[in-house]
Structure 1
Amino acid sequence: MRHRPSRHGSFAAERRDILKHGAALLTGGLASTIPAGVAHAGTGAASGSHGISTMTHRGHSPFGFDQWASADFEVPEGVQRVSVSTSFDPFVAVPGVMENVLDIGLFDPTGFRGWSGGARRDFTVSAADATPGYIPGDVQPGTWSVALGPIVYNPKGMGWEVRITLEFGEPADRFVPRPAPDKAIGRGQAWYRGDMHLHTQHSDGTATHSELIKSARDHRLDFIASTEHNTRSSALYWGASAPSDLLVLNGEEVTTRHGHWLALGLPPTEWVDWRYGPRDGSAFAQRRDRVRSLGGLVVAAHPMTPGPGSFWEFGFENVDALEVWSGPWTLDDVAAVAVWDGMLRTGRRIVAVGNSDAHNAGEVGTPHTVVRATSLSKDTILDGVRRGNSYLAETADVSLDFIAAANGRQAGPGDQLPVSLFSSVEVSARVSGAPGTTVTVHTAWGRMATTTIGSTGTGEVHWKGWGKASGFARVEVRRQQPTSTTLDQMVAISNPIWFI
Structure 2
Amino acid sequence: MASKSTLKNHLFTSAFGAGLLLITCGVSNTALGQSSHTSPWAPTIINTPPPVASITNGVWLKGDLHVHSRHSKESSNNPIAKILAFSQSVGMDYLGITDHDNHVEGDVAHNTWADPEFKSNSVLLLYGAEWTTTRGHGNAFSARPYDHQRLYDVRDQRDMVVGAVKKELGIHLSANHPSGKDHFGYSYDMLESLEVWNSVLWSKNANAIMIWDDMLSSGRKLTGRGGSDAHHGTPDAPDKATPNSKQAKANYVGTPTTWVFATARTTQAVVDALTNGRVSVSANPYAPRVEFYADLNQDGKMDLMMGDNVVATGKPVKFRVQLTGKLAPGAAYTVSVVKNGGQLDTLQISGKTAMAEFTDTPATLGRTYYRVMVQGPPTAYPQVPESMALSEKMVGLSNPIYFNFDPNF
Q: TM-score, normalised by structure 1?
A: 0.55
Q: Is 1:321 the counterpart of 2:193 in the alignment?
A: yes
Decide which of 160, 165, 168 is 1:293's aligned counterpart. Answer: 168
Percent same amino acid at aligned positions?
25
Following the alignment from structure 1 to structure 2, what is the Cα–Cα distance between the partners of residues 317 and 247? 28
Q: Structure 1 unaligned runs (5+)?
A: 1-187
Instruction: Work out the CA distance in 1 between the residues paired with 2:134 and 2:354.
Output: 44
Distance 2:163 2:352 in 1: 41
Report the Cα distance in structure 2 between the residues aligned to 1:355 and 1:209, rounded to whole angstroms: 17
Counterpart residue number, 2:134 = 257
SS in 1 for 2:190: coil
Q: Distance in 2 between matches of 1:386 and 1:229?
A: 22
Provide, for residues 153-211 of structure 1, a one-character-per-residue CA deviation record: whole Å limited to 9, x for no partner: xxxxxxxxxxxxxxxxxxxxxxxxxxxxxxxxxxx820111211111111132211110
Pair 209,268 (structure 1): closer, same or farther in 2 beyond 3 Å: farther
SS in 1 for 2:185: coil
Residue in 2 that maps onto 1:193: 62
Matched, 1:412 2:290: no
Task: Number of aligned residue pairs: give it.
Answer: 303
Give the direction of change, closer, same or farther, for the CA distance of 1:458–1:197 in structure 2 (3 Å limit).
farther
**SS of structure 1 residue aligned to 2:188:** coil
Deviation at 1:453, TM superposition (A): 4.1
Distance 2:91 2:310 in 1: 32
Give the conservation status (yes or no) of the 8 Å contact 1:219–1:364: no
Partner of 1:333: 205
Q: Give, in angstroms, the shift of residue 335 of structure 1.
A: 0.6
Residue number in structure 2 paired with 1:303:
178
1:489: how far off?
Answer: 4.1
What SS does the aligned partner of 1:235 have? coil
**Structure-2 separation of matches of 1:487 and 1:210:** 26
Q: Counterpart of 2:206 in 1: which secondary structure? A: helix
Give the alignment partner of residue 462 of structure 1, picking from 357, 367, 374: 357
Q: Check conservation: 1:406, 1:417, Cα contact below 8 A.
A: no
- The equivalent of 2:7 in structure 1 is none
Distance 1:245 1:336, change over 3 A: same
**Secondary structure at 1:271's aligned position in 2?**
helix
Question: Hey, what does 2:384 align to over in structure 1?
Answer: none
- Are the equivalent residues in 2 in contact too, given 1:324–1:354 (CA < 8 A)? yes
Task: Please identify, of 423-432 and 229-238, the stretch whose mean Cα deviation from structure 2 is larger.
Answer: 229-238
Provide the rounded CA distance (Å) in 1 between the counterparts of 2:274 and 2:97: 16
Counterpart position of 1:205:
75
1:221 is aligned, of 92, 98, 102, to: 92
Unaligned runs of 5+ in 2: 1-56, 235-251, 379-386, 405-409
State the distance in 1 between where 2:398 and 2:336 align. 11
Letter in 2 for 1:225: G
Q: Which amino acid aligns with 1:477?
A: V
Q: Distance in 2 between matches of 1:489 and 1:390?
A: 20
SS in 2 for 1:228: coil
Q: Is 2:369 aligned against 1:450?
A: no
Note closer, same or farther for the CA distance 1:477–1:314 as it changes in structure 2 (3 Å cut): same
**What residue number does 1:81 align with?**
none
What is the one-letter code of the residue matched to 1:295? G
Residue identity matched to 1:450: T
| Structure with the higher fraction of residues in strand conformation | 1
**Larger helix share, 1 or 2:** 2
- The AA in structure 2 aligned to 1:384 is A
2:370 to 458, 473, 479: 473
RMSD of aligned C-alpha atoms?
2.9
Change (3 A) 1:410 1:331: same
Question: Is 1:243 aligned with 2:120?
Answer: yes
Partner residue, 2:276: 387
Change (3 A) 1:253 1:445: closer
Judging changes above 3 Å, is the alpha-carbon distance between structure 1 residues 487 and 356 closer, same or farther for their aligned structure 2 residues?
closer
CA distance in 2 between partners of 1:405 and 1:418 (Å): 14
In structure 2, what is the Cα distance between the partners aligned to 1:441 and 1:267?
39
Whether contact under 8 Å (2:262, 2:273) holds in the other structure is: yes
Instruction: Provide the residue aligned with 1:369 in structure 2.
Output: 258
Give the aligned residue type for 2:373.
Answer: E
- What amino acid is the match of 1:368? T
Structure 1 Cα separation of the partners of residues 211 and 88 of structure 2 = 33
Q: Quote the residue 1:403 is aligned against.
A: 293
Q: Aligned in 2, Cα 1:487/1:345: closer, same or farther, shift over 3 Å?
A: farther
Larger radius of gyration: 1
